[in-house]
Structure 1
């Protein structure tokens, strides 16, 4: 339990963190990786280079300072981040390393303004927050390990099939190398793929949504091929160009909070842009097989027909449903985007809405959903990568 004095000191640093948070977290990551380069086997190097990881951590630290009196307010964020940590293989012994370098970064950036009282209060607060993460993640690891066909960290899977879905998206069907089945997962969850790429010093991990309803013996991920010079594309290019049927990759157990409740009968809408369709197609398939009478809307936005994946699958799943509306919008055609008028026509504002796609797409869609009367608690969205602040006001 934190003392009132500690909480007061931590709260008083919130304005400073708002101004200097990203500078602090940038120094933190630089120094931590210099001291512990082995951690580069866990972290996404591209998110580091682009500043996304630094910004995400700065937002989390700031939120902790603001809510230090009621840390339960940040529990949803803790759970979301913990899912990412578990899928990456973050362990309890990593937290003291993070704490040490976070405090050193605060001192380095703030200089004399980082008094002993401030550093002491943050050390105490970090201990409480770290314990919360460790506890939540221990429960997740236990649940993952103890479920049927479950495991912790990474396990070898064979690429059983590699299927081209569009000009840029290819599906990989993955089966356990030991011949076992896979654990049950919730529609919308993701797995991590860990690969060792020739010429790269460290292992690389990327998360990919599971793109079909649960099967007993396999996972399916559907990966967008990024442009050759896109720094985000190192793993996707490796999967597309070098990984073939019969090859082995390492896979984490399913994780994630962006999930569909398959038992709900109330209206649901799936709104996706680009590769954001990947978790949605698994959700649609689940509705079609478990609650086929559920009022359902499936809207997808793509640049053109060549880039639109899963069109045949959408039609196949829709054919099993009694109350479904679906449409794909191509931005190279007139009225080829999901506008407010489209949302008013298709979306039941009393139901749940799932949104996934590029950040500008999600910002625009969520803003328009608010305008037509959909409440925040009805809107579920998923980031590919570290969680960011959405500008949807």
Structure 2
């Protein structure tokens, strides 16, 4: 890009701040009209609730604001690239996106979007696309280099289903071809693809792996979400909860940046809300099966006992593992008998656990709803925890950018 083109991109920042979501809403409608087959690759629940449009608007704005040095966005781009390979995004699809994004800029912004500005944005988009395509090429190659690794969709049989709470079921997924499956870092996710009859579409969703690695199966633990006002957010989770043992689904290889470094000996502080406990369980099991048994503190919050998945297993481990300490917060407590140790009523409050979590060299992992992540992140900063030691996972489109 020339310096003049960068200046033109920077000049569009005020427009993007004001009309970014109008632009992305128009862009998605335009692209899906011309390429309805892409609906099979996009989460139509996030299209309906606006989260995907907001995420794209934020990304376009961030790119424009940092056009002088896009390298500052590399962490965000790596996260997007990891999600893309889990959906089997291919280079030719960037051209489709680019064509419709530039056309949308012209049609939405109108007269201020001069030919010169459109040319600058075209150059900027394909510069970004080249970065993403090269990054994803390396990730695809890394997948294939692993023992048992693959790219694209692979069929797995649901051999076992277990009810973990009133809302969460675990699915044990075995490869239909009987061949080896790829290793993964505790905390990573897989994408799963199911057909949604009422949409007449295949729909992908990402679910964290909820166990440590073994050579036979992957386990995911899925909360049955309830759609609101015809919002299709819960359609895939509901479809999964209706599956039976023996059914076949397609999944992609493990991916994701939110994970433990297996060789690290640093203490762990895990902070989860609701179904955000799933990647933490993978971390906990991995630590349990390792020789390190790193000091681990797990703080979990949910509405009540009935929705607390894996409660008995975690409590059993807590009573038998010297390296583990747990704290549980329930919004409401109906029966005070047989509660997990260190249980409190109310929302997660890290101040109540501060003596246990202020461990030298500890690494902090947060997973849960958006407001939960923001609240706990701020609480850790108030406890003088360095940003570089805080990691978080937001389910769905990335709307949070805290560090």
TM-score for both structures, normalised by structure 2: 0.93
Deviation at 1:255, TM superposition (A): 0.5
SS where residue 89 of structure 2 aligns? coil
The match for 1:155 is 154
- Which residue does the alignment assign to 1:357? 368
Question: Which portions of structure 1, spanning 4 or more consecutive aligned residues, are displaced by more than 6 angstroms?
Answer: none
Q: Residue 327 of structure 2 contacts residue 353 of structure 2 at CA under 8 Å; is this kept in 1?
A: no
Q: Distance in 1 between matches of 2:291 and 2:98?
A: 47
In structure 1, the residue matched to 2:337 is none
Write the mapping of 1:1-393 to structure 2, written as runs, cut at 5 A.
2-227=1-226, 229=228, 231-241=232-242, 243-318=243-318, 321-333=321-333, 335-348=345-358, 350-389=361-400
Give the distance between the partners of 1:17 and 1:228, measured in 2 at CA. 31
Q: Deviations over 1:83-141 (max 9, x none)?
A: 11111111101001101111111111211011111111010011100001111111111
Q: Output the CA distance in 2 between the equivalents of 1:227 and 1:111.
A: 40
CA offset at residue 49 of structure 1? 0.9
Q: Distance in 2 between matches of 1:198 and 1:21?
A: 33
Partner deviation per Cα, 1:196-253 (whole Å, 9 max, x = no partner): 1334311111110000011111100000011265621101111112x10011000100
How far apart are 1:317 and its partner, in Å?
Answer: 4.0
Structure 1 residues 220 and 130 mapped into 2: Cα distance closer, same or farther (>3 Å)?
same
Q: Report if aligned partners of 1:271, 1:299 keep a CA contact under 8 Å in 2.
A: yes
Structure 2 unaligned regions, length at least 5: 334-343
- SS of corresponding position for 2:159: strand
Report the TM-score, using the length of structure 1 for normalisation.
0.95
Partner SS state of residue 215, structure 1: coil
Deviates more, 1:134-143 or 1:163-172: 134-143
Aligned CA distance change for structure 1 residues 276 and 372 (closer, same or farther; 3 Å):
same
Question: How far is the alpha carbon of 1:336 from its aligned partner?
Answer: 2.8
Q: Please provide the CA RMSD for this pair.
A: 1.6
Specify whether residues 173 and 24 from structure 1 end up closer, same or farther in structure 2 by C-alpha distance, changes over 3 A only. same
Aligned length: 390
Q: Distance in 2 between matches of 1:347 and 1:136?
A: 36
